Structure 1
Amino acid sequence: MESVAREFLFRLLKTPSPSGYEQPIQQVVREYLGACADSVTTDSHGNVIGAKNPAAPMRMLLAGHCDQIGLIIQYIDSDGFISVQPIGGWDPIQLVGSRVTIWTASGPVTGVMSRKPIHLLTEEERKVVPKMKDLWIDIGAENKADCESVVRIGDAVTLELEVRLLRRNLACSVAMDDKVGLWVVLEAFRRAVAAGPLPCGLFVASTVQEEIGLRGAQTSCHGVDPHVAIAVDVTHATDCPTIDKKSEGDVALGKGPVVFRGPNMNPHVVDRLVAASKEREIPIQLAAPAPTTRMSTVTSA
C-alpha cells in the first residue's frame, strides 16, 4: 500500500463520525478530494460528492458511507455518571469496560464505559444480558456540576479511536464499517482520475447516516442521478468460530474483496466486475446478500 494512501486510511479511522455528527470526517474527505476532483460539493444532507468530468453524458457513482455507530449523552446523574443512548445498532456487552471518547464543543473527553461489577451481581442478574440502561460512562467527575462543566446532553460518544496492527498484515480498529469502504472508493476515484482520460463523468460520494437508515445513499443518488453505481461496504468474515457458513456464506479474510450477486444487484455490473477480476488476476469472493443492502438503496434511488 502506498504510504500516502495508508496515512489517509488511518486518518479516516481516527476521525470521529457518529451518524448525524459526520462533520469532522467530511472535512477530511473534502480536503482529500480537492486535489483530484473538478468539483467538490456538500449537499444539504451532509453528503460530500466529488466529480470529474461532471458534464459528461454518462455518469458513474462510487459510494461509501462515512458514518459510524456511536452513542449520545442522554442523562447525567447527581454523582456525575453519564447515561447514553445508542446511535445505530450495538451489542451492549461489547461496550462493558471500553475506553470511550466524548466529542464536546471544547474538545475530546476521555471516559470508561462501566457497569455493576460481576462480583456484586445477584445470581439472577448474572443470567441477564446487560442493556444500555444498565451501563454508564465515568469521566472521573466529582458530581453533576463538574460533569456538566465539560460535557452536554446530546454530545456524541465513540469508542477510543485507534488503529492496531495484527499479524499477517492485518489491522483492527473501531469504525472499519465503513471507513474502509469509504477509503476504497476515494482511492479508486483518485487513481482513476490520475490514470485518465475518463470515458464518463465519475462521481464519488462520502455518504452520511447509513447506520440509522441508509439515508445518505438515497439523497446522494438523487443528487448525482448516475447511470451506474457501485457501493462499497463491509461484510462478515465467516472464517471464525461459531459462524454457520450454510446460512452466512463462505467469506475469508485475505482471499479478496466480496462481490455480491442477487436480486438487488445489476447482473451486467456484477458480470463486468467478475470479468475484470479475472483479467487482472485479482482474487474475489462471491456472496449472496441479505434482503436489505446499501446497493439495494442505490438501485431503488
Structure 2
Amino acid sequence: MPDAFLKNLLATPGTSGFEQNIQQVVRDFTSEFADSVETDVHGNVVATVNPSGGTKILLDAHCDQIGLLVRHIDEQGFLRVSAVGGWDMQILLGQKMLVHTKSGSIPGVIARKPIHLLNDTERTTVPKIQELWIDIGSASPEETAEVVSIGDSVTPEPSLRELRNGRISGVAMDDRTGVWVIMTALKMVAARKPSSAVYGVSSVQEEIGLRGAQTSAYNVNPQVAIAVDVTHATDCPGIDQNQFGKISIGGGPVIVRGANANPRVFDLLISTAESHGIPVQINALARPASNDGAAIQVSRGGCATGLVTIPNRYMHSPVEVVAESDLENAARLLAEFCLAIDSDTTLIP
C-alpha cells in the first residue's frame, strides 16, 4: 500500500518543467525532519540533514516529467503542441490530459479522426506531433485564448492504480518514485544522526537535458553522490535481455556499473546491500547515463557518483509500472550507504 507521501507525489499534477506543485509536496514532507529545506532559483528543492557534517553526500532524483507545450491555438480552437521529452506518439492517442494555465489546470483530450474515417495510409502510419491536437471543449479560438496561453504546459492526467503483487501503475513513475526514494532515505538518515552532511535534491528539467542536476550539484559541491532514476525492466514481452540485460520488477533496485559509476561507490553500494540483506540487481552501462548521474559526475572538479535505478515497465507512458518493494529496498540501501560513509572512506578509484 503506497504511503501518503508517494500517493501525493503521484496524484499531484505536474507541469513538465519546473513542477512547482510537486516541489511543494516535497517541501511539506521534508520540513518535518530536515535541518533546512530550500528552493534555488532554478526550482530545485534541496533538503539538508546535518549540514555541518564532514563528507558531503548528494542524493538526487528528478521531479519533472515528459509532457507537451502549447505552441498554437488553431482556427477551430484546438491546441497544437510540441513535445517536451521523448514521446511515442502512439501512446498519446486517446489520453486524458491537463493543460496547466495561470488560473489552474484545464482538462482536455488527445485523439484523432475516428478509425471509420481514416484512409488506408493513415491507418498504418504513426501520426507526427504536429498532426495531433488537444480538445478542451472550446467552441472557438477566442474562447480557448481566454483560458489558455502560448507556452502553457500539458501533461497526462495523474493516476495511481494498485496491481497484483505489490505493483503500482500510473503517470510519472519516472521519476517521482526516485524522489520518494531519496527523501525517504533522507528521513531514515536523519533519525540516526549521520556523521556526513546529506543533501536530498528533487531536481528539475532532467527530461530536457539534466539541467537541474547541473546547477544543484554545482551549488552543493558534494564529494559523493547517488543519482536515483528508473530503468527499463526487461521482464515483459518484446525486450531482448541479451542486449539490455535481465532486470526484473520486484528483484530489487538496480546498481549500475560502468563509466558513470565510481568503482569505490559501486563497491560500497554492493557491500552495503550484502551486509544488510537488501536484494539488488546489477546492470552495465557502456556510455554516460541519460540521467542526472551524468551531469553530477562531471560537476566542478568531479564527484564520486553512483547510480541506483528502479525497474520500470512501459517507461514514458501514462501506465508505467513499478514494484513498491523495489522502492522500499532502494530507500534502505541509500540510507545505509550514507551512514556507512565517514571521513576515512576512500573515493579515489
Q: Which runs of 5+ in 1 are unaligned?
A: none
One-letter code of the match for 1:260?
Answer: V
After superposition, the C-alpha distances for 1:166-225 in whole angstroms (9 at most, x for unaligned) are 11111101000000011100000011101x221111111010100000111111111111
Match of 2:288 among 286, 292, 297: 292
CA distance in 1, matches of 2:230, 2:285: 12
Which secondary structure state, in structure 2, belongs to the residue aligned with residue 223 of structure 1? helix
1:11 is displaced (CA, Å) by 0.5
- 1:84-95 map, 5 Å: 84-95=81-92
Which secondary structure state, in structure 1, belongs to the residue aligned with residue 207 of structure 2? coil
After superposition, the C-alpha distances for 1:110-158 in whole angstroms (9 at most, x for unaligned) are 1110112222222222232111111111111111112222222111111
Aligned to 2:231: 235
Matched, 1:278 2:279: no
- 1:248-263 map, 5 Å: 248-263=244-259
Match of 2:78 among 72, 81, 87: 81
After superposition, the C-alpha distances for 1:51-84 in whole angstroms (9 at most, x for unaligned) are 1121223111111001001111111112211111
CA distance in 2, matches of 1:296, 1:101: 31
Matched, 1:71 2:73: no
Which secondary structure state, in structure 2, belongs to the residue aligned with residue 185 of structure 1? helix
Aligned to 2:13: 16
Number of aligned positions between the proteins:
297
- TM-score, normalised relative to structure 1: 0.95
1:270 is displaced (CA, Å) by 0.9
User: 278-287 vs 111-120, which deviates more?
Assistant: 111-120
Relative to structure 1, the CA distance from residue 186 to residue 290 in structure 2 (aligned partners, 3 Å threshold; closer, same or farther) is farther
- TM-score, normalised relative to structure 2: 0.82
Aligned to 1:29: 26
Contact 1:163/1:172, CA 8 A, preserved across alignment:
yes
Contact 1:51/1:202, CA 8 A, preserved across alignment:
yes
Contact 2:12/2:22, CA 8 A, preserved across alignment:
yes
One-letter code of the match for 1:30?
Answer: R
User: 178-187 vs 164-173, which deviates more?
Assistant: 164-173
Question: Where in structure 1 do 4 or more consecutive aligned residues deviate above 3 Å?
Answer: none
CA distance in 1, matches of 2:48, 2:178: 18
Which secondary structure state, in structure 2, belongs to the residue aligned with residue 100 of structure 1? strand
Percent of residue pairs identical: 48
Which secondary structure state, in structure 1, belongs to the residue aligned with residue 87 of structure 2? coil
